[in-house]
A and B are shown apart, each in its own frame.
Chain A
């Protein structure tokens, strides 16, 4: 439902009534074919929100070229007719589909749902009116979102970086960090927006790629690159791409001359006043909750934090204050894409937790007619040539292509459609196939990447096997690239169509096949993440086997006290352990190791061994790896040599037992990044800055006269944790920055320690007398990770943490289906992120476990026993471990070697086929015969 807003939510968990207000689109969605004639004729231009106001759009518009749904809409504020009926109306006159409806009205819907998930997102801080940086006054000061659009090929300059003042290429650009973040004076947003450091680096690197020779500088306070692989990217940007990083707050931006140059003044790290000139200044704007979302929060009755983000518990990171209403993404605090995607899945798990009794009650399976047997029929190919509005027809003589297609061997029917993908054409296609008894279909249109699945469904609806289909890509690979030469484009469209016809002629029906799913889960690791995943899956009705190597559940959480927001960890962990132990759906195997594993999605088999050496095999449909991480035992700063040099965790224990040394000490020095972010471990352990700040606050609370120092490289109190950093400074905790090349030195003295560190403000070495030294030691991968990764054939990253399938879009899946990762096994992270990832893993696992069987497509490798001689070359190249070597005896007792394909593992990539020297293996749908006739057709003209 687009152009729609929630205005009211009544009822309670499991049974809500939601009122949704749907604004008029003034374009009939069923009729609109997105040809763009309306926008071409519309005389009214306004700023384009999608391009962050860097370009213009019309009053009738589509949000962006790839929009879903791809339907035009009229901006009622800008439209001439809607403001003065009778004037204009150009769009209605030219629309070939009669889709414009100026009489469209607002509608209200009442919808009954069991649960509501709020994912309304954020808005970028708008720096208009912030006099300091001249945004809005000087044309060459832009926001990071605007830069993103300038860099984009679909943006206003098609990716060229030009000065807005005079259109000259940009040679020198500056990024100013923390605009609208960590700044209560300018905007009231005291929190850190978490994502700007990383996006500024990315934009700087990409901008340099676009414009060789471009100089980029990032002016920052703390470089907060605390996510997985972020620090390595930061280093690469600095060392390989040559992005300059300057730690300072820029005082002001002023124009210089009439050309649009900008003068920045700042104090550099050596304490000098500097003036420097730039072509372009980019404001790295922060994230904030938009006004309409604040209204949504009020209408739904959920509590917000002081910074206008949804209030959540660290132990229920997607649950709002109102039961049954969940939140995910930037609404509960600024966060990056992977964390948002994780929370999206986590919210699904949380909703499924309460709705599982009603699973499958509202959904229905699509029913298709029985498949027609075409094997004995003679070839009757139908070709559908698409105009794609003017996308193809504007550059290709489609009529000529259609006439030509009719002459090709086997073709008995040809159609042309304005939009072959539109709903009405789909219905027409079904009718045409049935009436003409067609048995192979070619669509000459956009691209199979986006539309092949749709046409498969269509021909299935006409009673054909879905694989009796081929697409000729005459748009993305033809009309879009040959806009200047209609004759050549038309010839190429014919070639492509001829090839598709030649290939489909040899296509037989293929069957998708299903493998049954063992509907239970194995969760490896009984820490917070493992327990949270197990608990949620059990709540959804799936049996869980939980394996823990040690004798106790709880993992690292057993050593922690408070979450960053102050929630008491031991109490919550106890509740979780109690619930897990009581849950009849969860079988716990403590003091148990994994011995071996085999199988594939839906059908894993894992062997366990308990402390008495008794082995047991567990069958399970999915596997969740939640083996956590461990702490580094440092070998610097006198750790383990000096009694009063301790790690953060040890210090917590000493505080807990009211240790006399802590009680009587007056000076404490915390040293950050001990073992993190160095040559051995170039990653950030993410939680240590917040941990040390919390400990420092506690020490000051107990006795404000104590001296507490934190020696840091970048304070990474991201998101709303920034308030802890602020509080610590207000309480008098002293923060001193050091660089990797100038690490602090700890010297033992008679009465404690002397810590030597370079002071960047005073520009001289500083000597601090300390009674205790507390080291923020790195988090390192758990010892068993390597063994586990080999056992399940899932990869580890450079540092030994488990590697997810995709850094952004699949943050809890492994590339191998049916396996998921959660918690610190993936990367160091705090409690709420571990739990969110665990819930996400549970949601992803539930998408498999909720089905009886998993359906796999029919594009799989097949062995031809007559040609395969078992040379096994294909086994080495198969990336999915889908091929095994068999030895068979024939009637005469001779041994014949040949390979066998496990179709559940095979993805149909064809590497085996390309490698095989004997034509012993080929992929169904891409057989040698098909490829040959396609090639012959390509060379035929």
Chain B
């Protein structure tokens, strides 16, 4: 491994709740993140939900 190049950045493909969590944790730990989202805005399926179990929090 020593001689190989290691780039300190990560590409996260998908801007839903999962991809966003990944991107945030990586950025907070000192890695540059490219977050690639297929549609015009991040948020994914969770942004479509009205309320979620068990807190009835609005999903936004």
Give the A-B contact count at a CB cut-off of 8 A.
235
- Determine which of B17, B48, B60 lies in contact with A52 in the assembled complex, contact meaning CB atoms within 8 Å: B48
In the complex, whether A155 has a CB less than 8 A from a CB of chain B is yes
The chain A residue sitting closest to B15, CB to CB, is: A2
Give the Cβ gap from B39 to chain A, nearest Cβ, in Å.
Answer: 6
Among B19, B29, B53, the one with the most A-chain Cβ atoms within 10 Å of its Cβ is B29
Chain A residues in 8 Å Cβ range of B36: 1, 4-6, 20
- Determine which of A4, A16, A119, A359 lies in contact with B29 in the assembled complex, contact meaning CB atoms within 8 Å: A359
Chain B residues in 8 Å Cβ range of A229: 54
Give the Cβ gap from B16 to chain A, nearest Cβ, in Å.
Answer: 5
- Determine which of A69, A347, A359, A844 lies in contact with B31 in the assembled complex, contact meaning CB atoms within 8 Å: A359
**In whole angstroms, what is the CA distance A68 to B6 when docked?**
31
> Contact residue range for chain A?
35 or more
Give the Cβ gap from B11 to chain A, nearest Cβ, in Å.
Answer: 5
In the complex, whether A151 has a CB less than 8 A from a CB of chain B is yes
Q: CB distance A25 to B8 under 8 Å? A: no
Q: CB distance B57 to A808 under 8 Å? A: yes
Q: A202-B52, A355-B8, A358-B6 are in contact. Are A844 and B25 (CB under 8 A)?
A: yes
Q: CB distance A807 to B42 under 8 Å? A: no
**In whole angstroms, what is the CA distance A64 to B45 when docked?**
12
- Determine which of B6, B22, B29 lies in contact with A14 in the assembled complex, contact meaning CB atoms within 8 Å: B6
Give the Cβ gap from B37 to chain A, nearest Cβ, in Å.
Answer: 5
Q: CB distance B41 to A202 under 8 Å? A: no
Give the Cβ gap from A429 to chain B, nearest Cβ, in Å.
Answer: 26
Q: CB distance A1 to B37 under 8 Å? A: yes
Q: A64-B41, A73-B40, A843-B25 are in contact. Are A117 and B13 (CB under 8 A)?
A: yes
Q: CB distance A113 to B34 under 8 Å? A: yes
Chain B residues in 8 Å Cβ range of A529: none
In the complex, whether A658 has a CB less than 8 A from a CB of chain B is no
Which residues of A (331-375) have their CB < 8 Å from a CB of B? 331, 337, 340-341, 343-345, 347-349, 351-352, 354-355, 357-363
Q: CB distance B32 to A363 under 8 Å? A: yes
Q: A63-B43, A114-B10, A360-B8 are in contact. Are A206 and B51 (CB under 8 A)?
A: yes
Chain B residues in 8 Å Cβ range of A67: 40-43
Chain B residues in 8 Å Cβ range of A153: 50
Q: CB distance B26 to A352 under 8 Å? A: yes
Among B14, B34, B54, the one with the most A-chain Cβ atoms within 10 Å of its Cβ is B14
Chain A residues in 8 Å Cβ range of B29: 348, 352, 359, 843, 846-847, 850
Chain B residues in 8 Å Cβ range of A296: 13
In the complex, whether A120 has a CB less than 8 A from a CB of chain B is yes
In the complex, whether A148 has a CB less than 8 A from a CB of chain B is yes
**In whole angstroms, what is the CA distance A132 to B43 when docked?**
33
**In whole angstroms, what is the CA distance A69 to B57 when docked?**
22
Q: CB distance B54 to A15 under 8 Å? A: no
Give the Cβ gap from B9 to chain A, nearest Cβ, in Å.
Answer: 5
Q: CB distance B41 to A362 under 8 Å? A: no
Q: A328-B22, A355-B31, A807-B53 are in contact. Are A116 and B41 (CB under 8 A)?
A: no
Chain A residues in 8 Å Cβ range of B57: 808
**In whole angstroms, what is the CA distance A6 to B34 when docked?**
11
The chain B residue sitting closest to A340, CB to CB, is: B18
In the complex, whether A149 has a CB less than 8 A from a CB of chain B is yes
Q: CB distance B7 to A113 under 8 Å? A: yes
In the complex, whether A728 has a CB less than 8 A from a CB of chain B is no
Q: A1-B35, A148-B48, A847-B28 are in contact. Are A345 and B10 (CB under 8 A)?
A: no
**In whole angstroms, what is the CA distance A67 to B36 when docked?**
15
Q: Mark A15-40, 1 if CB is under 8 A from B, else 0.
A: 11010100001000000000000000
- Determine which of B13, B27, B30, B44 lies in contact with A6 in the assembled complex, contact meaning CB atoms within 8 Å: B13
**In whole angstroms, what is the CA distance A175 to B34 when docked?**
40
- Determine which of A25, A115, A359 lies in contact with B30 in the assembled complex, contact meaning CB atoms within 8 Å: A359
Q: CB distance A117 to B19 under 8 Å? A: yes
- Determine which of B9, B41, B45, B49 lies in contact with A114 in the assembled complex, contact meaning CB atoms within 8 Å: B9
- Determine which of A15, A69, A337 lies in contact with B6 in the assembled complex, contact meaning CB atoms within 8 Å: A15
In the complex, whether A762 has a CB less than 8 A from a CB of chain B is no
**In whole angstroms, what is the CA distance A50 to B4 when docked?**
44
Which residues of A (722-761) have their CB < 8 Å from a CB of B? none
**In whole angstroms, what is the CA distance A347 to B18 when docked?**
9
In the complex, whether A198 has a CB less than 8 A from a CB of chain B is yes
The chain A residue sitting closest to B51, CB to CB, is: A206
Q: CB distance A363 to B54 under 8 Å? A: no
Q: A4-B38, A67-B41, A119-B16 are in contact. Are A112 and B51 (CB under 8 A)?
A: no
Chain B residues in 8 Å Cβ range of A62: 40-41
Q: CB distance A148 to B31 under 8 Å? A: no
Q: CB distance A352 to B16 under 8 Å? A: no
Q: A114-B9, A355-B6, A358-B8 are in contact. Are A198 and B19 (CB under 8 A)?
A: no
Q: CB distance B48 to A50 under 8 Å? A: yes
Q: A344-B19, A348-B22, A348-B26 are in contact. Are A117 and B53 (CB under 8 A)?
A: no
The chain A residue sitting closest to B42, CB to CB, is: A68
Chain A residues in 8 Å Cβ range of B4: 14-15
In the complex, whether A329 has a CB less than 8 A from a CB of chain B is yes
Give the Cβ gap from B30 to chain A, nearest Cβ, in Å.
Answer: 4
**In whole angstroms, what is the CA distance A119 to B52 when docked?**
21
Which residues of A (101-154) have their CB < 8 Å from a CB of B? 111-122, 145, 148-149, 151-153
Q: A3-B38, A341-B18, A359-B30 are in contact. Are A112 and B50 (CB under 8 A)?
A: no
Q: CB distance B40 to A113 under 8 Å? A: no
Q: CB distance B48 to A2 under 8 Å? A: no
**In whole angstroms, what is the CA distance A204 to B30 when docked?**
43
Q: A2-B37, A344-B17, A808-B57 are in contact. Are A206 and B30 (CB under 8 A)?
A: no
Chain A residues in 8 Å Cβ range of B52: 202, 337, 808
**In whole angstroms, what is the CA distance A796 to B32 when docked?**
36
Give the Cβ gap from B24 to chain A, nearest Cβ, in Å.
Answer: 8
**In whole angstroms, what is the CA distance A361 to B45 when docked?**
33
Among A71, A122, A148, A343, the one with the most B-chain Cβ atoms within 10 Å of its Cβ is A148
**In whole angstroms, what is the CA distance A337 to B19 when docked?**
12
Chain A residues in 8 Å Cβ range of B43: 63-64, 66-68
Chain A residues in 8 Å Cβ range of B8: 114, 355, 358-363
In the complex, whether A764 has a CB less than 8 A from a CB of chain B is no
Q: CB distance A3 to B25 under 8 Å? A: no
Residues of B at under 8 Å CB distance from A? 1, 4-23, 25-32, 34-57, 60
Residues of A at under 8 Å CB distance from B? 1-6, 14-16, 18, 20, 25, 50-52, 62-64, 66-71, 73, 111-122, 145, 148-149, 151-153, 155, 159, 198-199, 201-202, 206, 229-230, 233, 292, 296, 328-331, 337, 340-341, 343-345, 347-349, 351-352, 354-355, 357-363, 806-809, 843-844, 846-847, 850
Q: Please, could you name 29 A-B residue pairs with CB atoms under 8 Å apart, sorted by A?
A: A3-B37, A4-B38, A15-B4, A18-B11, A62-B41, A64-B41, A71-B40, A111-B34, A113-B10, A116-B10, A117-B12, A148-B50, A151-B51, A152-B50, A206-B56, A328-B19, A329-B14, A330-B18, A345-B22, A348-B10, A348-B29, A352-B29, A358-B8, A359-B8, A359-B30, A359-B31, A363-B32, A807-B53, A850-B30
Contacts A362-B8, A806-B55, A846-B29 aside, 12 further interface pairs with beta carbons under 8 A come to A2-B39, A2-B40, A3-B40, A67-B40, A68-B42, A116-B10, A116-B11, A202-B51, A329-B18, A352-B31, A355-B10, A844-B25
Closest 9 CB pairs of A and B: A344-B21, A358-B8, A329-B18, A119-B19, A67-B41, A362-B32, A119-B14, A847-B28, A348-B25
